[in-house]
């Protein structure tokens, strides 16, 4: 993953994210938009053959876009980790049940 | 959030997630399809091929055979410490085939492939590779490597990966019912867990880069040649020598 900051104003960041597409950026965007101090968050892919995306974040309430990005990523990670631990617990449970049925 | 494993049946798992949004479900689905690694034959050196298939066709047929995968034992070649083109025991498994038909026709199956590592073998012994007429033979040495579906479809660990979104009319975001069918390379539940780990890892990298203010000056557009290069087959021992020659000139 490569990052390249294209524009950085008071409350706005526009950055290129190399080697990433809809998978990561859509997740980030949705996580960013959940933050109260994020005024705008969006991304675009300049060309389908280019393996990069352009992410724009605008914040208010004196918070920096970098803070928003870090917090959004953190929140997405919390969701994913919660899912993983729940999922693996369920799998373990299913396996135990299966062994019981087999014996 | 509420996760329910509805059923695990052979290579298929069904599970539901409540309390997540479409972006979460879609990121999970896309990662399972194109970023969870699995084993497939990547390089092949053909010593003898008198079958009706041209070498390229044979290489393609062999490439699409799904192999059982051990993600703890193997690493992606680009992440391996050996940094070598041919790889080491941590990033490739050697698969060989040496068959011939003597007096009667013979069908060559995936079970005829000999793997140096018993944990890396075709998921089914009954995949037809070629049919040989009397006196025809195939002999090759191939390297199975980890790779991702992004680069080539032969590295896609799932033959089906879909979700149904039941909105239910309330504000909870609804219920996502996933159906994931593995090709047999990994257990279907492994594919799901691995996808989550990959996404978390990506977010970690992203966070770290933002925190450290690490940004490259420029992202070169169309930096695809290397990516496309991987996932193509090198055919024949002759090609291999040429490749070595080119590298020494650089
Ligand atoms: Zn290696």
Residues B143 and B50 in one domain: yes
pLDDT tens digits, residue range B38-85? 999 999 999 999 999 999 999 999 999 999 999 999 999 999 999 888
* Chain B interface includes A2 (CB < 8 A): yes
Same domain assignment for residues B169 and B192? yes
Cβ contact B182:B32 at 8 Å: no
- Tell me whether residues B192 and A87 touch, CB distance under 8 A: yes
CA–CA separation, B183 and B246 (whole Å): 37
Do B104 and B48 share a structural domain?
Answer: yes
Which DSSP symbol is given to B187? -
CATH of the domain at B51: 2.170.120.12
A60 touches chain B (CB under 8 A): no
Q: Quick one: which of B90, B45, B44, B87 has its CA closest to B65?
A: B44
Domains of chain A: 2-102 (3.30.1360.10)
- B188: Cβ contacts below 8 Å, ≥ 6 apart: B8, B11, B12, B13, B158, B180, B181, B182
The series of mean pLDDT values per 10 residues for chain B, 250 residues long, is 93 95 96 97 95 96 96 94 90 96 96 96 97 97 95 96 88 88 97 98 95 70 46 44 45
- Is B202 inside a domain boundary? yes
**Domain range holding B26?**
2-35+157-212
Residue B248 placed within a domain: no
Share of chain A above pLDDT 90, in %: 69
| pLDDT for position B216 | 65
Same domain as B173, residue B108: no
* Same domain, residue pair B14 and B72: no
Overall number of domains in chain B: 2
Digit-coded pLDDT (tens) for B142-165:
999 999 999 999 999 999 999 999
Q: Determine contact: A41 vs chain B, CB below 8 A.
A: no
Residue B219's pLDDT is 58
What CA–CA distances, in Å, run from B208 to A41, B192, B203, B205?
20, 25, 8, 5
Q: Ligand 1 centre from B78 Cα, in Å? A: 8
Question: For residue B19, is it within any domain?
Answer: yes
- pLDDT by residue, tens only, chain A of 103 residues: 889 888 998 899 999 998 899 999 999 999 999 999 999 999 999 888 888 899 999 999 889 999 999 999 999 999 999 999 999 999 998 888 878 887 7
Mean pLDDT of all residues belonging to chain A? 92
What ipTM describes this predicted complex?
Answer: 0.94
């Amino acid at each position: 993953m490569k990052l390249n900051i294209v524009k950085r104003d008071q409350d706005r960041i526009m950055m290129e994210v190399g080697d990433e597409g809809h998978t990561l950026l859509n997740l980030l965007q949705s996580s960013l938009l959940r933050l109260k101090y994020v005024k705008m968050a969006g991304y675009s892919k300049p060309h389908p053959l280019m393996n990069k995306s352009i992410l724009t974040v605008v914040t208010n309430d004196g918070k920096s876009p970098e803070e928003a990005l870090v917090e959004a990523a953190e929140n997405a990670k919390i969701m994913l980790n919660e899912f993983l631990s729940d999922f693996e617990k369920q799998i373990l449970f299913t396996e135990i049940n299966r062994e019981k049925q087999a014996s | 959030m509420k996760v329910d494993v509805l059923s695990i049946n052979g290579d298929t798992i069904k599970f539901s997630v409540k309390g997540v949004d479409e972006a979460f479900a879609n990121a999970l689905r896309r990662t399972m399809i194109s970023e969870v690694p699995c084993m497939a034959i990547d390089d092949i050196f053909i010593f003898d091929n008198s079958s009706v298939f041209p070498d390229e066709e044979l290489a393609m047929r062999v490439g699409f055979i799904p192999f059982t995968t051990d993600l703890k034992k193997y690493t992606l070649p680009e992440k391996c410490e050996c940094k070598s083109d041919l790889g080491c025991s941590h990033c490739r498994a050697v698969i060989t085939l040496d068959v011939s038909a003597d007096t009667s026709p013979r069908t060559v199956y995936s079970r005829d492939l000999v793997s140096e590592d018993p944990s890396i073998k075709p998921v089914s012994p009954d995949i037809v590779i070629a049919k040989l007429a009397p006196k025809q033979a195939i002999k090759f040495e191939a390297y199975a490597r980890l790779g991702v579906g992004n680069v080539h479809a032969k590295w896609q660990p799932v033959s089906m990966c879909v979700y149904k979104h039941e909105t239910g009319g309330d504000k909870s975001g609804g219920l996502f019912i996933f159906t994931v069918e593995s090709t047999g390379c990994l257990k279907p539940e492994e594919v799901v867990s691995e996808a989550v780990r990959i996404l978390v890892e990506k977010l970690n990298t992203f966070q770290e880069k933002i925190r450290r203010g690490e940004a490259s000056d420029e992202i070169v557009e169309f930096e695809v040649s290397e990516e496309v290069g991987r996932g193509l087959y090198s055919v024949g021992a002759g090609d291999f020598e040429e490749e070595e020659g080119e590298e020494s000139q650089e």
